Amino acid sequence: MKTKRLAGIVILIVAFTVGCTGNYGLVKRQAPADEKMTLAELMENWEDYDIYYGKPALSLPKNILFDPKNNKTSIVGEGWHKISDQQTLSETIRAIQVNWDNHEVMIIEGPDKQFLGYMYCSWGFGEPGAMSWTPSIYDVRLVDEHTVHVFQGV
């Protein structure tokens, strides 16, 4: 009886895992071997992106999302506020740097590891030097073939 119950639980876990992996992406650190995108490059080329800042409830701006204009995918989500000019972008970056620790440019990847954009964000989890660390506070979900929903962290 215990064997059947255990087998049933294992089947449910496998089915849940397989079912959930197909339409999720992630926000991850840039690999050291890759040519890294810098914040200075993003600021210099700001007009090439649709830019939004994230501001969790009752908080200061904590992250900035850079959605490339030249790709076929749009990034959407609740709590993201459009940045339309370079001055607002500079002020938001300064606010993040002054009020939060551990900020860097991360990559937003889709379910099949396709590049979707960048996020300049602060984080407070994990070991900063560990490449296996991924900020779990951001949830990236494929809505359809041209839309990705990014839930901002807490």
pLDDT digits (tens, 9 = 90+) for 3-42: 555 444 444 443 344 344 457 888 888 888 778 899 999 9
Contact 141, 108 (CB under 8 A): no
Check pLDDT > 90 for residue 46. yes
Higher pLDDT, 33 or 144: 144
The per-residue pLDDT for range 92-140, each reduced to its tens digit, is 999 999 988 888 999 998 888 888 999 998 765 444 444 444 444 677 8
pLDDT reported for residue 111: 82
- For the residues of the chain, what is the DSSP string, one character each? -HHHHHHHHHHHHHHHHHHHHTTEEEEEEPPTTS----HHHHHHTGGGEEEEEE--TTS---EEEEEETTSS-EEE-TTEEEE-SHHHHHHHHHHHHHH-SSEEEEEEE-TTS-EEEEEEEE--SS-TT-TT---TT-EEEEEETTEEEEE---
The per-residue pLDDT for range 52-95, each reduced to its tens digit, is 998 876 678 889 999 999 888 888 888 889 999 999 999 999 99
User: For the chain, what are the domain ranges?
Assistant: 23-151
User: What does pTM read for this prediction?
Assistant: 0.75
